[in-house]
A and B are shown apart, each in its own frame.
Chain A
Amino acid sequence: MPSVTRSPLGAFVIKVFAWLPVAFVVWYFAAPLLLWPAAVVVELVARAGFADLVRGTEQAGATLTFATSLKPGTSSAQSGQVIVDVNMLLYAFGLPLYAALVLAARETGWPRRMIVGYAALVPFVAWGVLADFLKNVAITAEPLVASQTGFVAWQREMIAFAFQFGSLILPTVVPAAAWVLTHRAFLERLNGGTDSVPRRSDCP
């Protein structure tokens, strides 16, 4: 059995650990910009699928605020609409992980791989953010608010599953999967095989 610390895999892991703090710092400070595309996707999906529920969204830093058509109560004295804030960073920590993996591998055309992976991750960040919002208004909100959403039992179950899957599985799995898919030739070499797949062709 090859020693992990002396193997290319060991060297790769050390490089990942070296890049990870850098990637996290860049990710945190560039979050408003990096998360803007995900906010746009959320806005589009919300307007298309939940137009009666969402009046608009507004991004402030890494927070996405949903303005809803829901009222906080039934009393006429209670005016205004319910707004929901979602911390987008909670669903986007896979971005620095993916960046660290790409930079540690540093394959030919790594900037292109970075962009491809980023584009692949954005919809899943949007998934988590939207599921968080839906969970907030349909499940954890007060009954007076949740009842206005009109969701029936099975829809609430779906929202709960989408939220759990979108918060516990997708944010971590998608970056790893995206990296594996965009680094097949690198993995081939890492595993001691010959570089049978041309480098330039393994990035979709």
Chain B
Amino acid sequence: MLRFFAAFVVLQAVLFGLELTPWAQEYFVVPWTNALAAISAWLVTVVDPGVASEGKILRSTVNGFAVSIEAGCNGVEATIVLVAAMLAFPAPWKNRLVGLAAGIIAVQGLNVVRVISLFYLGQWNMRAFEWAHLYVWQALIMLDVLVVWLVWVRMLPRTGDSAGPTGPPGGPGGRSAAPASA
């Protein structure tokens, strides 16, 4: 458990440090954030045609209200946490890759819901927007990451399974988020 946590913390710090570099910002974070705004606008226009995106901004063409997707709201940090948790946990690489793909989709999917909900909350009530933006959605996204990770750990092959030659520690049960020893 201690080895997992040590690897988790180191991976997280490294990935977060990489995210802050100008190179990562220019070639990954900014395009990612712009794509998030575009996807959100595309989904919303199915029921509300008065919405458009421009860069990282989601804007109402009806009343001019707009939200800008900033760091912390683009889901990159949540994704980093999930990636660090899955890479740090002992598991076969095949399971890691499948988990990462499905997990990133799950986290980013909920993040799209976050962006769209905040867009409409802000038009309804700014106090509700601030609360949801600063506190509630932050907790919900992290809960999403935790649940995705727990589901992934649950689906890992047990040590005794033929498909799981390198199952995680935790005794005979193999798959476990809670190895009995460090």
> What residues make up the interface of A, taking CB atoms closer than 8 Å to B?
1-2, 4, 7, 9, 13, 16, 20, 24, 89-90, 93-94, 96-97, 101, 161, 164-165, 167-169, 171-173, 175-177, 179-181, 183-188, 190-194, 196-197, 202
Contacts and interface: CB of A to CB of B under 8 A. Distances in A.
B134 interface: yes
Contacts of B171: 193, 196
Given A165-B13, A168-B72, A24 B136 contact: yes
Nearest to B171: A196
- Name A's interface SS: helix
A90 B154 contact: no
Interface string B40-66: 000000000000000000000000000
A120 B135 CA distance: 19
Given A93-B134, A161-B17, A202-B178, A190 B150 contact: yes
Contacts of A179: 146
B180 to A, nearest CB: 5
A4 B155 CA distance: 11
B154 A192 contact: yes
A169 B1 contact: no
A188 B170 contact: yes
A96 B139 contact: yes
13 contacts: A2-B154, A93-B136, A97-B142, A168-B71, A169-B12, A176-B146, A177-B5, A180-B177, A188-B170, A191-B154, A192-B173, A193-B173, A197-B180
Contacts of A175: 142
